[in-house]
Amino acid sequence: MSLVVYAPASTANVSVGFDVLGGALTPIDGQQLGDRVKISEGKEAFTFDCVGRFAHKLPSDPKKNIVFDCYVAFKEALLKTDTTLLNVDITLEKNLPVGSGLGSSSSSIVAALEALNALHKHPLDETVMLAIMGDMEGIISGGVHYDNVAPCYLGGMQLMINEGDIISQKIPSFKQWYWVVAYPGITISTAAARDILPAQYRLSDALTYGRRLGAFVHACHSNQPELASKMLKDVIAEPYRAQLIPGFKEARLFAEQSGALAMGISGSGPTVFAVMTDLQQAQSLQNWLTENFLQNDEGFCHICHLDEQGARVLGTEL
């Protein structure tokens, strides 16, 4: 028996919700934007292979890949159940660039853990799975956080709660929004992007952050897209991280002139996103970003909707 699990890319922070908001992404043209994992029963306890466009960016030693850490964590969690651990052959198809701001590590983590859980007939529930995913993300980024793994795993726009056994909850989103997402082809590590942030913030910035986040969540629940889009502004990270992204100011200016409701940095960057409601304007911005914002052949730009499904089994072969 074998199966393939797909885990979509995600955009964390969404400007207004530093470390507490994240959305899963799916290109409107039907392409897949995310990592895939194939798993099958094996002859040895654990065998691993890595393929795909960005496989060369990962360690060659299988035990230094985050997928191995996921296997170890799943094995430990399984001890608390009645399920027997199977021997597994795992292949990671690495389709997302590392350090892109698109939840690359989260995509690998979610795909690997969901594949392990599915092969074993789902012995671990969503809460346990999400907690493990957050721990695995902590290995990569240096701190446990869920704003990529939660939307990647569960789909949609997720608000991080992290209170008791409630890690995140889905909030309503706007189906008329197009998310134009552009990765320039360069890398910014999450750790480096965090190091550039100040240790303390002014009270006025903290109050602005809380007011806008509250208003955004309220607007989502009360179906007020215009109000929601006005709240998509970042006083926490963007003022400091923008300098790390070549051409960000020019891209923002063109996006605003092209009808974008909002523009910001996806996660830690360097990927940027713009929210639009007119498809032709979104396509115009996509073309401009492709010609002017991308730095090399590894860059790409997609027009997306939010992926409401999250991680899922997609067949049996890569």
Q: DSSP per residue over 4-35, as a string?
A: EEEEE-EEESTTT-TTTEEEEEEETTS---EE
pLDDT at res. 289: 98
Tokens representing 147 are 């704003």
Among residues 40, 38, 186, 218, which one has the least CA distance to residue 99? 186
Categorise residue 278: left if φ over 0, alpha if ψ from -120 to 50, beta otherwise: beta
Residues 294/300, Cβ–Cβ less than 8 Å: yes
Tell me what the mean pLDDT of segment 3-21 comes to: 98
142 pLDDT tier (thresholds 50, 70, 90): confident
14 pLDDT tier (thresholds 50, 70, 90): very high
pLDDT of 187 over the 90 cut:
no
177 pLDDT tier (thresholds 50, 70, 90): very high
pLDDT at res. 285: 98
pLDDT of 140 over the 90 cut:
no
Residues 110/149, Cβ–Cβ less than 8 Å: yes
For the chain, the average pLDDT equals 96
Tell me what the mean pLDDT of segment 25-38 comes to: 98
- Rounded to whole angstroms, the Cα distance separating 21 from 7 reads 18
pLDDT of 201 over the 80 cut:
yes
Among residues 292, 111, 52, which one has the least CA distance to residue 185? 292
Tell me what the mean pLDDT of segment 251-277 comes to: 97
pLDDT of 314 over the 80 cut:
yes
If one counts every other C-beta atom within 10 angstroms of the C-beta of residue 164, the result is: 7
In a 3-state reduction of DSSP, which class is residue 235?
A: coil
| 47 residue type, one letter | T
pLDDT at res. 188: 84
27-30's contacts with Cβ under 8 Å and 24+ in sequence apart are 27/302, 27/303, 27/304, 28/178, 28/303, 28/304, 28/305, 29/302, 29/303
pLDDT at res. 191: 76
Tell me what the mean pLDDT of segment 103-107 comes to: 97
Dihedral angle of Cα 181, 184, 186, 188, to the nearest 10 degrees: -40
Residues in the chain: 318
Q: What is the pLDDT of residues 214-231, one digit of tens each?
A: 999 999 999 999 999 999
Tell me what the mean pLDDT of segment 178-200 comes to: 91
Q: Domains of the chain by range and CATH?
A: 2-171+307-313 (3.30.230.10), 178-305 (3.30.70.890)
Among residues 259, 310, 260, which one has the least CA distance to residue 15? 260
Tokens representing 184 are 């320039």
Tell me what the mean pLDDT of segment 74-81 comes to: 96
Tell me what the mean pLDDT of segment 10-27 comes to: 98
% of the chain at pLDDT higher than 70: 100
74 pLDDT tier (thresholds 50, 70, 90): very high
Tell me what the mean pLDDT of segment 12-28 comes to: 98
CA distances in angstroms from 59 to 7, 67, 93, listed in the order given: 21, 11, 14
Tell me what the mean pLDDT of segment 274-289 comes to: 98
Q: Would you give the distance in Å from CA 89 to the centre of its chain?
A: 25
Tokens representing 277 are 């409601």
Among residues 72, 169, 80, which one has the least CA distance to residue 123? 80
pLDDT at res. 143: 82
Q: What is the pLDDT of residues 87-96, one digit of tens each?
A: 999 999 999 9
Tokens representing 276 are 């639009």
Tell me the pTM.
0.95
- State how beta strands 178-183 and 272-276 pair: antiparallel
* Start-to-end C-alpha separation, the chain: 14
